[in-house]
């Protein structure tokens, strides 16, 4: 097996899903990239930009720009940490939660199209393998 092609396939999947998601999204100031940020934030009570950067493997500058965009649009709020002036807590707003429902529906519909002939058991195996690989790939985080 040519494992080098794994990167090609994963990258192509990501780009195609980004393009399809952008085509389907009609929410103001939301694109496929910051939609993923919003979903991540919605899954936590509050997070820091550093947590978003680390967990989603996105550069700090992009996260900062998108957090400003999402905050200005009313999807998130940012509050400075009272004990650490360098940290800012990001929380989702009710408007952000509503947007996340729409984003999840769009993403689910896209995956349903791609996985139409795949059994639930195979999807579960695929999911677990990708989750494991993603965890192992965190060894590369120190290179940033």
Question: What's residue 144's pLDDT?
Answer: 53
Average pLDDT, rounded, for the chain: 92
Question: What's residue 2's pLDDT?
Answer: 86
For the entire predicted model, the pTM comes to 0.86
DSSP string, 2-71: -TTHHHHHHHHHHHHHHHHHHHH--STT--HHHHHHHHHHHTSS-EEHHHHHHHHT--HHHHHHHHHHHH
Question: What's residue 27's pLDDT?
Answer: 94
> In this structure, which topology does domain 22-115 adopt according to CATH?
Arc Repressor Mutant, subunit A (1.10.10)
- 25-55 per-position pLDDT tens digit: 999 999 998 999 999 999 998 899 889 988 8
């Amino acid at each position: 097996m040519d494992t080098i092609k794994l990167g090609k396939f994963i990258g192509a999947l990501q780009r195609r899903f980004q393009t399809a998601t952008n085509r389907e999204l009609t929410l103001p100031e939301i694109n496929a990239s910051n939609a993923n940020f919003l979903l991540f934030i919605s899954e936590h009570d509050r997070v820091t930009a550093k947590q978003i950067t680390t967990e989603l493997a996105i550069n700090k500058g992009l996260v900062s720009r998108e957090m400003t965009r999402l905050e200005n649009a009313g999807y998130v709020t940012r509050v400075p940490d009272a004990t650490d002036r360098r940290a800012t807590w990001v929380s989702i707003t009710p408007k952000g939660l509503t947007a996340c429902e729409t984003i999840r529906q769009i993403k689910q519909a896209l995956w349903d199209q791609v996985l139409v002939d795949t059994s639930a058991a195979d999807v579960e195996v695929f999911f677990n393998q990708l989750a494991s690989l993603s965890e192992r790939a965190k060894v590369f985080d120190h290179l940033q």
